[in-house]
Amino acid sequence: MIRLESVRRKSGGRIHLTPRIPRSGPVTTLCGQALGDGTYAESDSVADCANCIRRSRDQSRISSAFFEQEEGSELLRLSLEQARQRKPERKPGAAAGKQESSRPMLRVMPSPPPVPESVGELVTDGFKPAGQGVWRSPGGVVVRMSGPKRDRFAELVYEGSVVATRDGAGLRVRAGDVEVRSSDEGVEVRIRRR
């Protein structure tokens, strides 16, 4: 699990949760608010925003929020995995270690293993891996796969336009740039063809 951090507007109000508070720049809370650079501060208190608390129980939400914060960086995927493996120890004022850097883009990391064309029901072309069985489309759709091999479609999370259509005996769901087709033959999840 990623340890969540409490953040609050300097002007007051609810204490929100976020996967990571950057040293500078805006921060996005789990409840979807963007707090501008310099308008917020880390809080030692327990969060009291109901939406943030509810969403903090949903791992895919947290993954999604994490990626929204620093869009598209492969390095962050690795940071996320590292965060899962060890709990970060924050020592305010301590010398800034590599892990504490607010500019992970500058870190040299090994290149990730090649992504296979499909993982069970997911056609991975166009998706980026976002953690254990979690994939993210360019349009911000988060897909979670389950099962021992993480190859079975489990869940789709997207805060945007979703259209579900009957498709013969099955169902077709279009969420953002992702399409999920369900039929007698099974489920297929892929980036929509234009």
Stretch that binds Zn ion, among 14-22, 95-103, 121-129, 131-139 (CB under 5 A): 14-22
Q: Is residue 16 a contact residue for Zn ion (CB under 5 A)?
A: yes
Binders in 131-190 for Zn ion, by CB under 5 A: none
Alpha-carbon span 80 to 3, nearest angstrom: 11
Q: Given the complex with Zn ion, which of 4 and 31 has the nearer CB atom? A: 31
- Per-residue x/- track, 23-52, Zn ion (CB under 5 A): ------x-x-----------------x-xx
Q: Given the complex with Zn ion, which of 29 and 69 has the nearer CB atom? A: 29
Q: Given the complex with Zn ion, which of 30 and 178 has the nearer CB atom? A: 30
The DSSP output letter for 146 is: E
Cβ-contact 84, 60 below 8 angstroms? no
Q: Given the complex with Zn ion, which of 13 and 72 has the nearer CB atom? A: 13
Enumerate long-range contacts of 74-83, CB under 8 Å, 24 or more apart: 74/109, 74/112, 74/128, 75/104, 75/105, 75/107, 75/109, 76/104, 77/112, 77/128, 77/129, 77/130, 77/131, 78/109, 78/112, 79/104, 80/2, 80/130, 80/131, 81/131, 83/2, 83/3
Closest approach of Zn ion to the CB of residue 48, in Å: 9
Q: Read off φ and ψ for residue 172, nearest 5 degrees.
A: -120, 125
Closest approach of Zn ion to the CB of residue 50, in Å: 8
Q: Is residue 83 a contact residue for Zn ion (CB under 5 A)?
A: no
Q: Given the complex with Zn ion, which of 59 and 99 has the nearer CB atom? A: 59
HSE (CB half, 13 Å, CA atoms) of 5? Answer: 20
Q: Is residue 61 a contact residue for Zn ion (CB under 5 A)?
A: no
Applying CB under 5 A, the site for Zn ion has a residue count of 6
Dihedral of the CA atoms 31, 37, 42, 47 (nearest 10)? Answer: -20
Closest approach of Zn ion to the CB of residue 49, in Å: 3
Q: Given the complex with Zn ion, which of 9 and 150 has the nearer CB atom? A: 9
Which stretches of the chain bind Zn ion, using CB under 5 A?
16, 29, 31, 49, 51-52
